[in-house]
Chains A and B, each alone.
Chain A
Amino acid sequence: MQIDLRTVAIQPQRQAFDHLIRRFGNKPASRYQEGSYDIQAAENLHYKPTWDPDHALYDASLTRIVMQDWYALKDPRQFYYSTYTLTRARQQETTEANFGFVESRGLADMLSDELRAISLNVLVPLRHAAWGANQHNTFICGYGYGTTFTQPCMYHAMDNLGIAQYLSRLGLLLGDTEALDAGKQSWLDDAAWQPLRRYVEDCLVIRDPFELFVAQNVALDGLLYPLVYARIVDDHISVRGGTAVAMLTQFMSDWFDETRKWVDAVLKVAAAESDANREVLQEWTRTWSDRAASAMVPIVELALGANADEAVGEQLAAFKARIAKTGITL
């Protein structure tokens, strides 16, 4: 039997804040809507930035992408701070359990020398690439326009930092501090890593927040994550007895599957806005994904040797198919 508890019933005076009623109609708003829409100052900005007097404090013209309403770029995950943090806290528990399991069972010591070397050589230098990604997403959040677009970039930046830290822990676990030193050396000097490092550094001087979004979150992540965590970790290392490595990088695989839905949604809405947008996005995606693909070849070679070209080629084709669904043909 259902019992309804009785409370004093008071008629609310209104359903939601005015700006949300204007957008979504006269009904209660979700917490995502309350925490995201129109919360960036939009009018009567007081002063021009002293660091860039040609632009406004919040300036949509910093990018070549033009949107009638920047808030159209919503996050299908509907992440606001709370839902974001709760999601990552759960994943963090799993990751912690995975690290604990690998450590307590001594699984790291059971890796063959060859697999350990591949894991360290491929994964440890990537902590620097993840730091680069953190820089880029922090930038997009800082200079991008409209909270629905910029807020997930802050969360993304913190995820990038978290990933850099998980990769550092993986390095420490498999090869101690020497592994981190060696990884940094490779990142700075080894020929295999220079195209990627150059890619990341070239992105550090891009000041169009949307181009940076494409270069980092669409193009580079779109190739790097499937190549490294699916093709190398799962298909190469794991099947040869290196399940431990897959456990230590589960966060990254899950994270990519989750975040690409948001990345695709942003791309799709921006491309659908106008032909001009679509052309710009096409140009950026083509340029940056070609560069990302060639930067990945020498890195994939570290694990797959002569099969690297083929793996990257297949991945690039899969990437193009994915991007085609957002309305952008490469």
Chain B
Amino acid sequence: MDMKVAKKKLGTKEKYRLMTRDLGWETTYQTKEDVFPYVGYEGIKIHDWDKWEDPFRLTMDSYWKYQAEKERKFYAIIDAHAQNNGHLNLTDARYLSALKIFLQAISPGEYAAHKGFARVGREFPGVGTQVACQMQAIDEIRHAQTQIHAMSNYNRYYNGFHAFADTRDRIWYTSVARSFFDDSMSAGPFEFMIAIGFSFEYVLTNLLFVPFMSGAAYNGDMATVTFGFSAQSDEARHMTLGLECIKFMLEQDPDNLPIVQEWIDKWFWRGFRVLGLVSTMMDYMLPKRVMSWREAWEIYGVENGGALFKDLARYGIKPPKGWDDAEKAIDHMSHQFMLGLYQWSFGTAFHSWIPSEDDMDWLSAKYPETFDKYYRPRWKHIKKLADAGTPFKNYGLAKLCQTCQLPCVFTEPDDPTLTCHRETVYKDETYHFCSDGCQHIFEHEPEKYVQAWLPMPQLFQDPIQGDLGEWMKWVSLIDGKDNGDYAGSEDQKNFETWRGMATSNQ
């Protein structure tokens, strides 16, 4: 027998190169343009895909091994949670409104990201980039599924979860998140990466993820905490991918800078609007609160975001255009949102409510400049109406922003007593916007945004014809169960009865 020949020692970088980018080749039977038809039209110039630095080095065998370990733990915990009536450990069933919004609006976004990353995982001409995107594609379907599975048990006992696949496509408030993800997927591959990979996953994800999962932990929701923790290491990979992608674009050609800057401006504002709902969750919907939206913004927006944009300044990147307007909105938005949700609560598949005196004291301590001055008086008035048996319901339809699709409930950045409203006339049609940021986005790509599906006009078309009952049927909303005030709701009654069964001998 021959002597054993010692094999070359390969470094991890070289080994990973052989396991990934060495698999690809320059095609000769088909042209590059035909194989990767979508990579050029956005105007981003890439000269050398090999300069892509792999943001993480994970071969499939390790991927399967690590992920399976996490999956085992996750399902063991949610099984136990379901078996032991874990839902009775919640601080209060009011908390579930946040989860209902999440399942209807955010989990479908995870699925959209899954599809989007599969597409760019095929359309980018660099193997390194493709593999990183493909791993995110498979992770994102994981997130959609673990979220549905974690919330499935809540659906068995509480209202508002049951029709998430219908509300995703039809109800008015989910079109905020839907239009966001549809917007990113209908963009080209590079813009998609800035939208989801960079803006959402890197700049804004901590504002969604940390408050949400901490909120779940504070309020006894073991199921959600578990999917949060389980997703965390995936998110870390996604964040490094987002950052690598933007650096790669900027390093490849100076002409890319203005395009990338425009996208950062756009997607920061788009993301800020979508995540605005998180402000309401943090300030109003958590029975036991983690921190205020203002405090979260200081940490995850100002500090982390500030450091990031300082880091990107060496490429010529400036902080997003809407940054100052965002800062000015922080002390107002959660109150404006919750007032909106309350007055339209007949049309939401989750509950809202009037904050208690204790809650309002907390809010005024957290928002000393704004709450007592602008918002407490309105809540007090609303409370008086409710006590008199004439609760305030706004059956008028909200005017939705053509871009972000939120009702135009926000105020001028420099005048909290004046509703902000912008208009643009395009091809003889008037379009409405909630802010300068959204108007600017529209005007940059009007042909795209005139296509937006707006849920309010739909009300007057077939099969609804302006009939509220027909509309509720169409969006699978069960009147008197899914919607309205938490006070007096079936969820409230059931939760209190069941908790009583579990904790007393009555």
Contact = CB atoms under 8 A, between A and B. Distances in A.
Interface of A: 7-8, 10, 12-19, 29, 31, 34-35, 38-51, 57-58, 80-82, 85-86, 88-93, 95-96, 106, 109-110, 127-128, 130-131, 134-135, 138-139, 141-143, 147, 150-151, 154-155, 157-159, 161-162, 164-166, 168-169, 172-173, 176-177, 180, 184, 187-188, 197-198, 201-202, 204-205
A139 B134 contact: no
Given A39-B108, A88-B60, 8 more contacts: A35-B144, A42-B169, A47-B183, A50-B187, A85-B68, A109-B5, A142-B122, A205-B30
A269 to B, nearest CB: 22
Scoring B38, B60, B72 by chain A CB atoms within 10 A of each residue's CB, the highest score goes to B60
A21 to B, nearest CB: 8
Given A19-B166, A142-B119, A176 B7 contact: yes
Contacts of B418: none
B163 to A, nearest CB: 5
A282 B2 CA distance: 52
Given A39-B165, A131-B23, A46 B178 contact: yes
B25 A128 contact: yes
12 contacts: A10-B85, A10-B501, A12-B156, A13-B157, A18-B166, A40-B111, A50-B186, A93-B65, A138-B121, A150-B118, A168-B19, A201-B29
B291 to A, nearest CB: 32
Contact of B183 (A46, A90, A154, A157): A46
Contacts of A187: 25
A180 B186 contact: no
A106 B4 contact: yes
B34 interface: yes
Contacts of B161: 17
Contacts of A188: 25
Nearest to B192: A51
Interface in B467-506: 476, 494, 498, 501-502
B361 interface: no
Nearest to A32: B145
B23 A46 contact: no
Contacts of A134: 134
A80 B149 CA distance: 11
A301 B158 CA distance: 65
B118 A138 contact: yes
Given A35-B149, A50-B187, A92-B65, A142 B163 contact: no
A2 B133 CA distance: 51
Contacts of B10: 172, 177
Contact of B85 (A7, A31, A110): A7
A12 B67 CA distance: 32
A204 B1 CA distance: 45
B35 A34 contact: no
A134 to B, nearest CB: 8
Contacts of A204: 27, 30, 34-35
A173 B458 CA distance: 63
B92 interface: no
Interface string B108-120: 1001101100110
